[in-house]
Amino acid sequence: MRLLIDMGHPGHVHLFKNFIREMRYRGHEVKITARDKEITLQLLRRYGFNFVQTGSGKTGNTNLIWEWISRSIEVFKISRKFRPDILLGVGNPSIAHAAMMLRKPSVIFTDTEHAKFGNRVTFPFASVICTPSCYCDDIGPKQVRYNGYHELAYLHPNHFIPNPAVLTELDLAEGDPFIIVRFVSWQASHDVGQHGLTLDTKRKAIHEFEKYGRVFITSEKPLPDEFENYRISVSPEKMHDLLYYATLLYGESATMASECAVLGTHAIFCDFAGRGYTDEEEREYDLVYNFKLDGLSQTESIQKALELLQDPDLKEKGREKRKRLLSDKVDVTAFLVWFIVNYPQSFTMMKEHSGVQYSCASISGDTP
């Protein structure tokens, strides 16, 4: 089988990396195209993946539309030469459009309900749309729901073992309390016109959190000079190790909040729109706490963080909650392998049997 996967964001590299390794191990051929956005290309190189660059990230709706058009053309040209059997991507119009022009199936993954514009220009052209079972929207007959989160493709214990060596880079030891604060750029297509935490909220949060441990900031955008001393200096591929050992995450990233949840680290997530998966991680597992980005909620988010930090057993409680989450959910890489290897029969089976039970296929088996 020949597969083409387009990476448009660093999170896509994490989602697909173990899938790519497993498919290649099985003898399938995988070609990677990638957009130069944030650390996407850096991660691909760190993981030893060859790729073809197809443009770079743009800001603003007009620029983004032109970027999607040009990347669709590029992906089409590369695909026509490579001749893939299936094309894959995450919320990716370029993959859906190229596959349609080639008359090949495309499998699109998404977990972001409020990416309305991107979804409108992607879903009509996709063959299959894979979403977590907790995804809030009903997309229609193309939708397949699996019982997991994107983050369980790379942070499930089958694929991830935390390395405490990262702590020494920050002069920390296991058990030392520390808080990670995450700011995003607000330049994604689904973030246009939105903004994040206010400077006063950020300043107050850091000041209050320092009373309970060291504070480290990871940010997609430049930081004010007053925050530069808090910036994390570890390499990006070690961030998940750090999240595992962190006492708490506070910030604007849904992905990082969900990563913390599946690692057993409590997270405060502040955003203008909810997500089906972070809502479930709060409702079912009490590991993520969701707050809207208005004035009162920003204050309440800090109060909730302080309440958690005052609990001396917070980490132990988080590990217990994680065990329950992992017992409920599946290894998403295993699901991806089973679904693609058995496509299109796998799609039919998922639709006929409501999907969830077929998500439990082991990575070593071709059938559930």
In a domain, 297, yes or no: yes
- The pLDDT score that the predictor gives to residue 363 is 36
| Containing structural domain, residue 15 | 2-156+331-360
Q: Tell me the pLDDT tens digit for each residue of 219-244.
A: 888 888 999 999 998 888 899 999 99
What is the model's pLDDT at position 189?
42
- CB of 66 within 8 A of CB of 38? no
Q: Is 368 a domain residue? A: no
pLDDT at 248: 98
Give the pLDDT of residue 117.
87
- Looking at the structure, do residues 118 and 34 belong to the same domain, yes or no? yes
Residue 366 lies in a domain: no
What's the confidence (pLDDT) of residue 184?
85
Residue 185 has a pLDDT of: 61
Q: What's the token pair of residue 54?
A: 């197809």
Can you tell me the distance from the alpha carbon of 206 to that of 312, in angstroms, rounded to the nearest whole number?
20
Residues 355 and 293 in one domain: no
**pLDDT for position 357:** 44
What are the contacts of 260-263 at 24+ separation with CB within 8 A? 260/287, 260/288, 261/149, 261/151, 261/285, 261/287, 261/288, 261/322, 261/325, 262/149, 262/151, 262/152, 262/155, 262/156, 262/322, 262/325, 262/326, 262/329, 263/155, 263/162, 263/322
pLDDT computed for residue 125 by the predictor: 97
Residues 267 and 340 in one domain: no
Same structural domain, 79 and 65: yes
Residue 211's alpha-carbon distances to 144, 265, 318, in angstroms, are: 46, 19, 21
The low-confidence residues of the chain, meaning pLDDT below 50, are 186-194, 356-365, 367-368
pLDDT of residue 233: 83
What pLDDT does 223 receive? 87
Sign, Cα dihedral of 305, 308, 314, 318: negative
pLDDT of residue 59: 56
| Digit-coded pLDDT (tens) for 299-327 | 999 999 999 999 999 999 999 999 999 99
Both 171 and 115 in one domain: the answer is no
The DSSP string of 247-265 is SEEEES-HHHHHHHHHHT-
- Structure confidence at residue 360 (pLDDT): 40
Whether residue 257 is found in the same domain as residue 134: no
Single pTM value for the model: 0.92
Q: How many domains does the chain have?
A: 2
CATH assignment at residue 90: 3.40.50.2000
Residues 145 and 281 in one domain: no
Q: Does any domain span residue 367?
A: no
127 lies in the same domain as 179:
no
* 262 and 335 together in one domain: no
- Write down the mean pLDDT value for the chain: 90
Position 68 scores a pLDDT of 80
Do 117 and 203 belong together in one domain? no
11 and 138 in a single domain? The answer is yes
Q: Are residues 116 and 18 in the same domain?
A: yes
